[in-house]
Structure 1
């Protein structure tokens, strides 16, 4: 029975399941995702399948559950306490600048205009002068 796969978590979409699978594999636990392709291509079957299933071997089940329950798998960069708009997420340098190109400014302005009334989230683009990394933050 050691080769039996056990479902340890279900997710509403494949992206979150893949993130958690990567986290488990980083800890040395082989993990598998069931129903990923079916629910990605036919999302209306979500209720019938119960979501995308994350599975591990029966022998790794307890350790995998402990990893899932003790760590926060998804972090919002905008609310992360250790990351600020004036700090590069790649090299942690404070030599950052806000990027404002004509196309990005118009698109960002339109997105902010249409979504700020409902969500209050503003999108800003940044560039690190130290390492050249570009990123987008929702503030």
Structure 2
């Protein structure tokens, strides 16, 4: 193991959540903290812990500090099958990664990408690994 990435096997489906506007809210309400399912039942998720490195392990094997509990970055480093992707935000005093629109979102610099089942299936067929 060279420490560049971790490969984790799971029998539970991988899910990615995002934050944004709740389409069920009456107009002209606009939210930015609504948590929605961006993708579900994924074969692979790739997560980078960003520049702050909260929750990461360095190439040398050094474990970086964990992100504050209850934050979206904590969700990306807790070892379960759920991940959060959203836009970058700076560290802010009084922040909360919850649904309260009056408080700002907490620091977030993670990059989360996923592989859809359709893309994986296509690549496996093209590689001659599936009929």
For normalisation by structure 2, the TM-score amounts to: 0.22
Q: Which structure carries more relative contact order (alpha carbon 8 Å, separation 6+)?
A: 2
TM superposition score normalised by structure 1 = 0.21
More helix by share: 1
